[in-house]
Amino acid sequence: MKEGGLGFRTLEDFNIALLAKKLWRLLWYPDSLLSRILKGRYYKYCSPLEVCVSNRPSYGWRSILAAKHLLASGIRKTIGSGFDTYVWADPWIPDTPARPPRGLLADRDPLMYVNSLIVFETKDWKLDHLQELFPLEEITPILRLRPSRSYSRDGYSWTHTKSGNYTVKSGYWIARSLSRLSGDPPVQGPGISVLKAQKARNRKVFENVDKPPPDILDHARAEEEAWRKANSEEHGEVGQDQEEALSTTPPMDETCCYVDVSWLVSAPLSGLGWIVISG
């Protein structure tokens, strides 16, 4: 409501924020059953934030990865033992946004971990080593970080909340800001063709309904084309008639209520919206 309108959420951005919560739980609970199953299938040797391409990914996994750009925009590695954080690749410097440190040397070891900068016995930073690698303005924020004295693993922090925990509310507003900056339609996750194929497979397994593959593909293409056309109209330029309608203002000392409604004949649902303008 602060930015105008009736306070309705943009469903695509809200869906991305919800999916980012799933991805956040995979990072925070790597030993959970779901995390171990997905790790064995899709990201055996890396973080889920580093996954680019998977072999025959499921619809659910592709949906979760659609939120990767949102979570990566506000995440920071927290230093525990330092054994899980790359010095030059991971965003562990507490800046806005979080980032890797800037170095003095052009020749850098890409596999160097943060634990090599920490004294094993005392868990203090190796100041002489820091001075060899980083400029003074980088050493100051590093020294503010406190490595774990109990050898706990490195973790993650969400920079857009005071607690450091990801919330759907904060994720939604970041998704909205990213959508405005890019000017592109929101990320939709898996394509309509994939969804249609999955539905056809489910009907074959559970209802024994066998539909020819060419018919499934034609139907999926038609629906995808309809979606793209509707989406391009939604994000397209405003026509002359629309400009006249939007610029309509009520006469002086009068109040007008503009109403819009939508419904589907085949569904028992409808939507209603209104706005009141004073002249």
The model carries a pTM of 0.62
The pLDDT of residue 189: 47
The pLDDT of residue 117: 94
Q: pLDDT tens-digit profile of 11-36?
A: 888 999 999 999 999 999 999 999 99
Q: pLDDT tens-digit profile of 229-238?
A: 776 655 554 4
Nearest to 134 by CA among 106, 107, 103: 103
Q: Is the pLDDT of residue 38 over 90?
A: yes
Q: Is the pLDDT of residue 186 over 50?
A: no
Q: Residue 268: helix, strand or coil by DSSP?
A: coil
CA–CA distance, 194 with 66 (Å, rounded to integer): 15
The pLDDT of residue 9: 67
CA–CA distance, 99 with 95 (Å, rounded to integer): 7
Provide the token pair at 272.
Answer: 């209603």
Model confidence at 193, pLDDT cuts 50, 70, 90, reads: low
Mean pLDDT of 43-59: 85
Average pLDDT over the chain reads 82
- The amino acid present at 176, given as its one-letter code, is R
Nearest to 18 by CA among 73, 64, 49: 64
Q: Residue 9: helix, strand or coil by DSSP?
A: coil
The pLDDT of residue 2: 54
